Amino acid sequence: MAKKRTIRTIPQQRTAVREQEPAQRVRNFAEVNCGYTLEQALNEADRCLLCPEAPCVAGCPVSIDIPNFIQKIGEKNYRGAYDVITDTNLLAAVCGRVCPQETQCEGVCVVGDSLEPVAIGRLERFIGDLAIVEGWTNIPYIELNGLQVGVVGSGPAGMACAADMAKAGCNVTVYEAFHEAGGVLKYGIPEFRLPNNVVDAEIGKLLKLGVKFECNTLVGRLFTIEQMISEMGYDAVFIGVGAGYPSFMGIPGESLNGVLSANELLTRCNLMHAGDFPKHDTPLQLGRRVAVIGAGNTAMDAMRVSLRLGAEQVHCIYRRTKAEAPARAEELHHAEEEGIAFHWLTSPVELLDDGRGGVRGMRCIRMELGEPDDSGRRRPLPLEGSEFEFDCDTVVYAIGTNANPILGQTSKLKLKKRGYIEVDENLATSIMGVFAGGDIVTGAATVIEAMGAGRKAARSMKRYLGLRDTDVVYRPERIGSEHTLFGIDLGERNYARLREVRV
């Protein structure tokens, strides 16, 4: 056995990853981060201290056994590393790319106390990509239990829930309103950050698990949640529709042409391929000076997409400072490298008409930071008399999203304030057999948190359906011979039906 690693013996420098040069990449939609090579991955794997009480695992919303998979990489057992990740996360290639690792696993990495933390996200992506190239899938042997599960929304929450329920032997159907599955991974996150073929590869794994996808289906309007339970034969339903209803500020000039939500910009570009107009029919009217309001991941995506679509200048307008910007560190860094102009402590108060229905600029006001608000971030306050005009011809709103009203309009689901679905600690809604998770419960969050919620809901659904939860050590809920047979709960519908087989 090799000598125990210590902070002094491991490679001190975090292994750099090749990235497309900023000058080159702003002209294409190819991925910015090219991913680790085999050598780079091995080098980075050597930096992990393999802590016995790994804080990184607790830092991961789905608790991937991180030291274990990194150790397997070090042993050149890549398939083994993939098996470890897929124990808890079906979408390694996606999460390796889009998780905010700096606030999760890498944020609590012990190495990070004195050096740069282990690049866990890059290693996860390395394994995820390798699995796609090699065609690895871990398909368990599934004995169908005859139960029907409906999943509303094909984004990260829905996919995670669908995978778990399919593995438990349920017949799972995922409904998607768009013509393609993937939700925010498809329409929202751009190609240079998460290529659509990676998303399709991950969806392919769900298909292999037997999950069915029905696109072009707007649940609530084509049929209701109640109908799914009462007429369509679903034993349980998971709602993971996200919170995609875009916010505007309610300032004058927002209905001018040239003002749009980041959702609209990204959907036109990512899902409808407006960049390829007229080969693809969907147009996108972008001006030369684009101002994006907000500094989250969506704002970064909108800015960088605008650059790639040919905008001459792209500006970020944010009412707080860089320190409070909610974007993932890598995205902010990439945006800076690509020449986005950042205007911190600035907020628009009016969008100005060019006289032809378009935008000629906006009137902004400078801000300063006051006392912390409910979110813990310092509240921005306007500086009296600091207003100024800012030239731009396109304004993109990326200031967050709200709950979509359709399910609220069409079902008796109990809602919280502002239209989010009310759930209990098991993610059960007010309707029996209906569970919900992800952004539609919590408000806008991250891909991995949505996946975590999807998996948590799946655990609750399995309990509700009387299915053995394969993730936990089993103990009968009610002891006594009238309830159990050889220690197995008689209320359970399937036990020992699952065994792993390799394909």
Partner 1 sequence: MSEPERAAGFEILDRQDFSDATYSLVIRHPRMAKAARPGQFVIVMLHGAGERIPLTIADFNRQAGTITLVIQAVGKTTKEMQQTCRAGSFLHALVGPMGMPSALTGRRKVVCVGGGLGVAPIFPQARGFKENGAYVIGIVGFRTKKLIFWQEKFQACCDELILCTDDGSAGIKGFVSDGIKLAIDRHRDIDEVIAIGPPVMMRACAETTRPRAIKTVVSLNPIMVDGTGMCGGCRVKVGGAVKFACVDGPDFDGHQVDFHDLVMRLGRYAVQEKAAVQRWSENCRMKEPDFSLDVFETPDPFEQVLGG
The contacts of residue 353 (CB under 8 Å, 6+ apart) are 253, 256, 359, 360
Count how many Cα atoms sit within 13 Å of the Cα of residue 496 in the half-sphere of its side chain: 2
What is the enclosing helix (H) or strand (E) of 76? none
How many Å apart are CA 428 and CA 238, to the nearest integer?
9
The contacts of residue 276 (CB under 8 Å, 6+ apart) are none
> Exactly one of 24, 255, 375, 481 binds partner 1 (CB under 8 A); which one?
255
How many Å apart are CA 119 and CA 497, to the nearest integer?
37
How many Å apart are CA 341 and CA 324, to the nearest integer?
17
User: Which one-letter amino acid corresponds to residue 379?
Assistant: R
**484 scored as a contact of partner 1 (CB under 8 A):** no
* Binding segment toward partner 1, per CB under 8 A, in 35-43, 256-264, 344-352, 469-477: 256-264
**426 scored as a contact of partner 1 (CB under 8 A):** no
Minimum distance between the CB of residue 222 and partner 1, rounded to whole angstroms?
5
**400 scored as a contact of partner 1 (CB under 8 A):** no
Count CB-CB contacts under 10 A for residue 355: 7
The contacts of residue 379 (CB under 8 Å, 6+ apart) are 369, 370, 371, 372, 373
Question: Site for partner 1 (CB under 8 A): how many residues?
Answer: 42
For the chain, how are helix, strand and coil distributed in percent, rounded to 5?
A: 35, 15, 50
* Binding segment toward partner 1, per CB under 8 A, in 21-29, 49-57, 400-408, 471-479: 400-408
Q: Which is nearer to partner 1, 233 or 491 (CB)?
A: 233
DSSP β-bridge partners for residue 393: none
> Exactly one of 96, 117, 121, 244 binds partner 1 (CB under 8 A); which one?
244
How many Å apart are CA 433 and CA 211, to the nearest integer?
19
Beta carbons of 94 and 188 less than 8 angstroms apart: no
DSSP string covering 233-296:
--SEEEE-----EE-----TTTTSTTEEEHHHHHIIIIIT-GGGTTTSS------SEEEEE--S
What is the enclosing helix (H) or strand (E) of 359? strand 359-372
Burial 113-140 (b: 16+ CB within 10 A, else e): eebebbbbbbbbbbbbbbbbeeebbbeb
> Exactly one of 141, 248, 388, 495 binds partner 1 (CB under 8 A); which one?
248
Q: Which is nearer to partner 1, 58 or 222 (CB)?
A: 222
Q: Which is nearer to partner 1, 88 or 263 (CB)?
A: 263
> Exactly one of 108, 223, 442, 484 binds partner 1 (CB under 8 A); which one?
223
Minimum distance between the CB of residue 257 and partner 1, rounded to whole angstroms?
5
> Exactly one of 245, 342, 464, 474 binds partner 1 (CB under 8 A); which one?
245
* Binding segment toward partner 1, per CB under 8 A, in 45-53, 171-179, 287-295, 308-316: 171-179
**218 scored as a contact of partner 1 (CB under 8 A):** yes
> Exactly one of 261, 306, 394, 494 binds partner 1 (CB under 8 A); which one?
261
Minimum distance between the CB of residue 153 and partner 1, rounded to whole angstroms?
11
Binding mask 176-215 for partner 1 (x = CB under 8 A): -xxx-------x--------------------------xx
**436 scored as a contact of partner 1 (CB under 8 A):** no
Minimum distance between the CB of residue 353 and partner 1, rounded to whole angstroms?
10
Minimum distance between the CB of residue 177 and partner 1, rounded to whole angstroms?
5
* Binding segment toward partner 1, per CB under 8 A, in 85-93, 101-109, 201-209, 243-251: 243-251
Minimum distance between the CB of residue 93 and partner 1, rounded to whole angstroms?
24
**386 scored as a contact of partner 1 (CB under 8 A):** no
> Exactly one of 3, 52, 133, 250 binds partner 1 (CB under 8 A); which one?
250
**257 scored as a contact of partner 1 (CB under 8 A):** yes
**297 scored as a contact of partner 1 (CB under 8 A):** no
> Exactly one of 9, 197, 230, 285 binds partner 1 (CB under 8 A); which one?
285
- In 3D, which of 247, 274, 280 has the Cα closest to residue 398? 247
- In 3D, which of 435, 436, 438 has the Cα closest to residue 450? 438
Q: Which is nearer to partner 1, 179 or 499 (CB)?
A: 179
How many Å apart are CA 407 and CA 410, to the nearest integer?
5
Minimum distance between the CB of residue 73 and partner 1, rounded to whole angstroms?
39
Q: Which is nearer to partner 1, 85 or 151 (CB)?
A: 151
How many Å apart are CA 17 and CA 30, to the nearest integer?
15
Beta carbons of 293 and 400 less than 8 angstroms apart: no
> Exactly one of 7, 30, 222, 251 binds partner 1 (CB under 8 A); which one?
222
**445 scored as a contact of partner 1 (CB under 8 A):** no
**260 scored as a contact of partner 1 (CB under 8 A):** yes
DSSP β-bridge partners for residue 467: 494
SS3 annotation, 470-482: CCCCCCCCCCCCC
Tokens 């809920």 belong to 477
Beta carbons of 404 and 244 less than 8 angstroms apart: yes
**404 scored as a contact of partner 1 (CB under 8 A):** yes
For binding to partner 1 (CB under 8 A), which residues are involved?
177-179, 187, 214-218, 221-223, 244-246, 248, 250, 254-255, 257, 260-261, 263-264, 267-268, 272-273, 277-283, 285, 357, 397, 404-406, 409
